[in-house]
Amino acid sequence: MNNNITRLVAKGLLAQAGSRHFAMALIAATALTAPSLAQAATAEAAATAAPAEDALPEIIVTAQKRSENLQKVPVSVVAVTAEDALIRGLTSTQSLTAAVPGLVINSPANVGNPYLRGVGSNLFDPSAEQGVAMYIDGVYISAPQTNIFNFNNIAQVEVLRGPQGTLFGRNATGGVIQITTRKPSSTPSADFSLGYGKYDWVTASAYVTGGLAKNLSADFAALYENQGTGFGRNLTLNRTQGQQAVGNYSLRSKILFTPSDDTTITLAGDFSHTVSTNAYQKPRGVISPIDGTSTYPGAFNSTNDHYNRDQVETGGVSLRLDQQIGSLTLMNLVSYRKTKVKYDLDNDVTNLAVVNVQLDPSAHNISEEIQLSGPNSGKFKWIIGGYYFNAVGAYDNVFFYLPSGSAINIPYNDQQHAISYAAFGQATYEIAPGTELTGGLRYTTETQKYSQTYPAPSPSVPASQPAQQTFNKLTWRATINHHFSDDVSAYASYNRGFKSGGYNLRLPGNSFLPETLDAYEIGLKTQLFDRRLRLNLGAFYYDDKNVQVLTSVLGGTFTTNAAAATIKGIEADFEAAVTPEFRLSGGLSVQDGKYKSYPNGPKLDQNGVIPACTLPGGAVQNPCLGGFDLTGNQTIVTPPVSGTLTASYTLDLGDNGRLQPSVTYVYNARFYWQPDNRVTQPAYSLINASLLWTSASKKFDARLWVKNLNNATYYIARLGVKSLGDVQEQAAPRTFGITLGAHL
């Protein structure tokens, strides 16, 4: 790299470090540095005809719904292979935050709320789809209660940053987490593992595959988990609390039929049963308006009089057809998914029986996607398709627990029914040697029907409250991508994505509008030093309108649309084969998010009280009923700096196999949980480590592992609640264990 340019960039960054516009300086710095990197890498590529034997392996992704080299795709993508996940101990969706800077996954009440580049959703209802969409084998996972799970047979995970408004489309304003599981093989094989860890954590998994008949193969995967001792205790009931898994199990199977070289049919099914016993607690110094106390029970402990327990059962089936028609490829994917949840919650977070409830959310949906695409090579590549989504999310019952322990069932149905259709197309054309232009459009129309049926308190009060709203949205993608060589490319893109509006269940009349995000991005992808170094840089600017923001109140929530926000920043991801045995990988994200217009936002003090405000003319209103001007506040869950660094080494022991130690460092700067910028997640660092031994035959392995080695304090949920005060759930403390594996 040109040293003068490097010094110039560094001086510019230091000069801008105290400015509220520092991210724009970073974007400019990236743009200035890109040509220098490109020239250096082009010269290197020209000097080397083929990659070195110890070069980094090629990574194939499907970010554009076709198989392509990660380095050729003009999208910011972080890919985690199955081998990477094993070595680094990435065992769940939540653990992906250790591999993707800028990715934060919150999980209040076992609900998955992923944020990427500061864009996401903290909505809670079973109908509340997330701003970072999750797909498993191409099937959209819509209910937020199903976003938190452990891996047991993954082939690869891809995290796509930024709105994917053309090819994925469905609520993918922040990005996409795309999980691919293993394909059945006609060659019989089996993988088994058994693990034990601190807090009596037991895990067992199995994967078997083989041929059933000619052109017909199948597989089966199973995972069992149980944490016998929780991270803390319920001090009122004298019970263990904070278990992440209580007899959890998940099953997944595929049947693969290939009647000809041109036809592939895949039938897949899955089911999982998960239970956790996390509970909210009061932070230090918070005075509960319920009982007037300010007792902090200690890390992971609670003082609830009602035992918190979350149970989620979810499953589905899908049928996929891949048909080659000459040079064209036809894909049709049909799926059905169903989720049933039972929440036992002490909503008042005290030892008094005030608001103790059982909620029974449920969700089910049908989806179908059809695609027709042209050849995967040549100057012109294209894909067209359609998408259908029919989903219902509901609360079926509410049980209120009395001080005696008995429960009153209030039978009502509170649901949202959404029907959505979309048509999309994207094409890439080589307009000049090495230069490609991509354009894509997606048109979505969606109708949502809300209904709440409940026992009428009197003849004059209706027993149901119906409502309906319809959205029609056009989203797009425009990208120019230039390949300086096989190892260097640069791109610039403009994308629009949207997240559908909806209804806040259990709160009649609370509807919210779609959120629309315009994203401007530049990126540079390089492979240097005979492909021993993979370095990708990016810079982005987001213009986010009608941002959906959830506010919690005692016993429920309501959702509003913040007027607008901007988020800007830069990112760097790298992987380096320092020596044939020593690997380094990691990434850095620097971002700045602000509400550029939020004139009527929510605000609370730590005890759940709305503060006073001064009205125009000087009058004081207490509490302030008109809302607060939050313009200029930082956007929620947007850490200004986050990064990861992993070092791994392979030690060949000859006939005794090999050892692979690995250490991962994760950093997140302080961010805010709510738009009033009062409740914070303090800055924290995590260290995870593992030592993997593999036999010379590769049939057996053993892995010693430790997570949160430094026992850092951070949170999976922290929020202020009107009429209740601040509450929090702490993330897992230091855990360690051993996992044994066999591969037959």
The span from the CA of 80 to the CA of 88, in Å, is 10
Assess contact for 41 and 484: CB atoms under 8 A: yes
Per-residue burial over 190-208, b if 16 or more Cβ lie within 10 Å, else e, is ebebebebebebebbbbbb
**pLDDT score at 581:** 94
CB atoms within 10 A of CB 414: 25
**φ/ψ of residue 353, rounded to 5:** -85, 80
Residue 40 has pLDDT above 90, yes or no: no
In which region does residue 113 sit, left (phi positive, over 0), alpha (psi from -120 to 50) or beta (all else)? Answer: beta
Angle at 397 between CA 392 and CA 399, to 5 degrees: 150
The span from the CA of 446 to the CA of 469, in Å, is 8
CB atoms within 10 A of CB 262: 12
What is the band of 555 on the pLDDT scale with cuts at 50, 70, 90? Answer: low
Residue keyed to tokens 């009608």? 546
Show the beta-strand stretches assigned E in 144-296. Answer: 154-161, 175-181, 189-197, 201-213, 216-227, 232-234, 239-241, 248-260, 263-276
**pLDDT score at 316:** 97
Assess contact for 183 and 153: CB atoms under 8 A: no
Residue keyed to tokens 């009107």? 722
Residue keyed to tokens 């999309």? 424
Assess contact for 107 and 94: CB atoms under 8 A: yes
Angle at 12 between CA 10 and CA 16, to 5 degrees: 120
Mean pLDDT score of the chain: 89
**pLDDT score at 44:** 44
The span from the CA of 649 to the CA of 578, in Å, is 10
Q: Locate all alpha helices (DSSP H) within 65-128, ordered by sequence.
A: 82-88
Residue keyed to tokens 């903290």? 122
Two structure tokens written together for 707: 């997570």
DSSP annotation of 674 reads: S
The span from the CA of 6 to the CA of 181, in Å, is 42
Show the beta-strand stretches assigned E in 374-434. Answer: 380-401, 407-432
Q: Which residues pair with 248 in a beta bridge?
A: 225
**pLDDT score at 50:** 54
Q: State what percent of residues in the chain have pLDDT above 70.
A: 91
What is the band of 722 on the pLDDT scale with cuts at 50, 70, 90? Answer: confident
Coil vs helix vs strand at 583: strand
**Of residues 39 and 256, more confidently modeled:** 256
Assess contact for 360 and 397: CB atoms under 8 A: yes
The span from the CA of 577 to the CA of 598, in Å, is 47
**pLDDT score at 48:** 42
Task: Measure CA of the first residue to CA of the last residue in the chain; give whole Å.
Answer: 48
> Which pTM does this prediction carry?
0.90
CB atoms within 10 A of CB 235: 16
Task: Please report, for residues 239, 346, 699, the alpha-carbon distance to residue 233 in angstroms, rounded to integers and kept in the order given.
Answer: 6, 15, 41
Contacts of 594 (CB under 8 A, 6+ apart): 20, 565, 566, 567, 632, 633, 634, 635
Q: State what percent of residues in the chain have pLDDT above 90.
A: 70
Q: What is the pLDDT of residues 119-165, one digit of tens each?
A: 998 888 899 889 999 999 999 999 998 988 888 899 999 999 999 98
Domain boundaries, the chain: 48-743
The span from the CA of 487 to the CA of 48, in Å, is 11
Assess contact for 147 and 112: CB atoms under 8 A: yes
* Type of residue numbered 552: S
Coil vs helix vs strand at 88: helix
The span from the CA of 394 to the CA of 364, in Å, is 9
Distance of CA 195 to the CA centre of its chain: 26
User: Which CATH code for domain 48-743?
Assistant: 2.40.170.20
Residue 12 has pLDDT above 60, yes or no: no
Residue 9 has pLDDT above 50, yes or no: no
In which region does residue 167 sit, left (phi positive, over 0), alpha (psi from -120 to 50) or beta (all else)? Answer: alpha
What is the band of 10 on the pLDDT scale with cuts at 50, 70, 90? Answer: very low
**Of residues 600 and 662, more confidently modeled:** 662
H-run or E-run covering 29 = helix 22-47
Residue 494 has pLDDT above 90, yes or no: yes
Angle at 591 between CA 586 and CA 592, to 5 degrees: 165
Closest CA to 89 of 663, 732, 741: 663
Contacts of 652 (CB under 8 A, 6+ apart): 581, 658
**pLDDT score at 139:** 96
The span from the CA of 367 to the CA of 302, in Å, is 41
Assess contact for 594 and 635: CB atoms under 8 A: yes
The span from the CA of 651 to the CA of 660, in Å, is 6
Residue keyed to tokens 């909620």? 359
Assess contact for 414 and 398: CB atoms under 8 A: no
> In the predicted model, what is the mean pLDDT of residues 214-240?
96
**How many residues in total does the chain contain?**
744
HSE (side-chain half, CA atoms, 13 Å) at 30: 28
Q: Looking at 167-176, 432-441, 569-578, which range is the least confident one?
A: 167-176
Closest CA to 180 of 135, 130, 236, 219: 135
Assess contact for 590 and 597: CB atoms under 8 A: no
Q: What is the pLDDT of residues 18-33, one digit of tens each?
A: 433 433 443 344 444 4
Two structure tokens written together for 573: 């991801």
Contacts of 252 (CB under 8 A, 6+ apart): 152, 153, 181, 220, 221, 222, 268, 269, 270
**pLDDT score at 49:** 45
Burial class (CB in 10 A: 0-12, 13-18, 19+), 404: exposed
**pLDDT score at 473:** 94
Q: What is the pLDDT of residues 655-702, one digit of tens each?
A: 999 999 999 999 999 999 999 999 999 999 999 999 999 999 999 999
The span from the CA of 144 to the CA of 131, in Å, is 10
Residue 5 has pLDDT above 80, yes or no: no
Residue 38 has pLDDT above 50, yes or no: no
The span from the CA of 652 to the CA of 668, in Å, is 35
**pLDDT score at 552:** 80
Q: What is the pLDDT of residues 86-121, one digit of tens each?
A: 888 888 999 999 999 999 998 876 788 999 999 998
**pLDDT score at 649:** 96
Angle at 420 between CA 414 and CA 424, to 5 degrees: 155
Radius of gyration of the chain (CA): 26
Per-residue burial over 552-584, b if 16 or more Cβ lie within 10 Å, else e, is bebbbbbbbbbbbbbbbbbbbbbbbbeeeeebe
What is the band of 399 on the pLDDT scale with cuts at 50, 70, 90? Answer: confident
**pLDDT score at 61:** 94
Helix axes 3-16, 22-47, angle to 10 degrees: 160
Angle at 498 between CA 497 and CA 504, to 5 degrees: 160
DSSP annotation of 42 reads: H
